[in-house]
Amino acid sequence: MAPVFKQITIIGVGLIGGSIARAALEKGAAVEVVLFDGNADALTRAGEIGFGKPVASIEDAVRDADAVFHCVPVGAMGATAKASIGAMKSGAILTDVGSVKGNVAREFRGLGRDDVHVIPGHPIAGTEKSGPDAGFASLFEGRWCILTPDAGASAAYVEATDRLAAFWTALGSNVERMDAQRHDLVLAVTSHLPHLIAYNIVATAHDMENVTDGEVVKFSAAGFRDFTRIAASDPIMWRDVFLNNREAVLEVLGRFDDDLTALRKAIRNGDGQKLFDVFTHARGIRREIIDAGQDTAVPNFGRDMDGKK
């Protein structure tokens, strides 16, 4: 394919940044990938792995980029953008991969470079791993990437958005455009609440280990282990998500809590019909997710099936 960009710069060489760099080179979506990371060890490691050219100064790293991808925790986006935006060339794209879009967009747009195209983005992809070694080129294949561009912007901005969309498409993603506020509500339901609940249940189980004497880990395959996977995700990234999408998360959490109160009441009152109705309904949603190609239909995600059945 013809490259979408001559040069892209990745700020932050963790799971997502590293995967974008690998994918861009492997698919030929960019001619050159420049890397920067505030953590010198991570940057050195990225250079060793060889998925781009490490540059030690953030300003030098962005200077010739057609598109700069900030792949750092949401709470650090403002600082990395501020430190580098002055060095960006006119007409370049400033984008990111954060799980919260409203706050990040406001920060980027408040930096006063009207000649730089601010187009926030969020690839719905990842694993529970982090760091430069965690990335891989196929991470975005068949996954959604949401862009939250300005409404009613200039022709040049629209053209830049189309180019960024073409880049993600080249990486194998299905691109969706969405209002930032809507993104933040939808993701609060599909991602932020599940992670919070997973972290919470792991914390509760751990606190109970003084009663259960190490047996939570021993018998975790009974269901608990599913929660620990997403609760193993990067703590700084997730801290920042909750601090920056507070309103939507608290709204969704309130609804979760109301529903849980109703289930608890059903258990206390021995209301089997209520429990049965709620549980039956859940199966249908699983079916929809599998039919939508968003998960595998294999039992236990296939993880227990090595050489079995």
Cβ-based neighbours of 64, under 8 Å, separated by 6 or more:
7, 34, 89
Choose between 85 and 231: whose C-beta lies nearer to its own copies.
231
Choose between 75 and 78: whose C-beta lies nearer to its own copies.
75
C-alpha dihedral (287, 290, 296, 300), degrees to nearest 10: -20
Task: Choose, by CB under 8 A, the member of 129, 150, 157, 181 that binds its own copies.
Answer: 129
Q: For residues 129 and 219, give the distance between their C-alpha atoms in angstroms, rounded to a whole number.
A: 23
Q: How many amino acids of this chain bind its own copies (CB under 8 A)? A: 108
Task: Choose, by CB under 8 A, the member of 106, 132, 201, 210 that binds its own copies.
Answer: 201
Choose between 22 and 117: whose C-beta lies nearer to its own copies.
22
Q: Which helix (H) or strand (E) holds 31?
A: strand 30-36
- The nearest distance, CB 127 to its own copies, in angstroms, is 3
Q: For residues 82 and 84, give the distance between their C-alpha atoms in angstroms, rounded to a whole number.
A: 6
- The nearest distance, CB 288 to its own copies, in angstroms, is 5
Q: Which among 152, 224, 151, 156 has a CA at the least distance from the CA of 182?
A: 151
Choose between 88 and 237: whose C-beta lies nearer to its own copies.
237
C-alpha dihedral (60, 61, 67, 73), degrees to nearest 10: -130
Task: Choose, by CB under 8 A, the member of 20, 23, 29, 198 that binds its own copies.
Answer: 198
- The nearest distance, CB 249 to its own copies, in angstroms, is 6
The pair of structure tokens assigned to 242 is 């909750």
Whether residue 123 contacts residue 16, with contact meaning beta carbons closer than 8 Å, is answered with yes
The pair of structure tokens assigned to 157 is 């901005």
Q: Which of residues 51-70 bind its own copies (CB under 8 A)?
A: none
| Contact flag: residue 138 with its own copies (CB under 8 A) | yes
First-to-last CA distance in the chain?
Answer: 42
Helix 193-207 vs helix 235-244: crossing angle, to nearest 10:
120
Q: Phi, psi (5° rounding) for residue 143?
A: -100, 160
Choose between 106 and 246: whose C-beta lies nearer to its own copies.
246
Cβ-based neighbours of 85, under 8 Å, separated by 6 or more:
62, 94, 111, 113, 116
Q: Which of residues 104-123 bind its own copies (CB under 8 A)?
A: none
Q: Which of residues 214-273 bind its own copies (CB under 8 A)?
A: 215-233, 235-236, 238-240, 242-243, 246, 249-250, 252-253, 255-257, 259-260, 263-264, 266-268, 270, 272
- The nearest distance, CB 21 to its own copies, in angstroms, is 15
Task: Choose, by CB under 8 A, the member of 24, 118, 125, 175 that binds its own copies.
Answer: 125
| Contact flag: residue 26 with its own copies (CB under 8 A) | no
Q: Which among 259, 239, 121 has a CA at the least distance from the CA of 180?
A: 121
Choose between 58 and 149: whose C-beta lies nearer to its own copies.
149
- The nearest distance, CB 267 to its own copies, in angstroms, is 5
At 147 the three-state DSSP class reads strand
Q: Which of residues 161-190 bind its own copies (CB under 8 A)?
A: 185-187, 189-190
Choose between 1 and 285: whose C-beta lies nearer to its own copies.
285
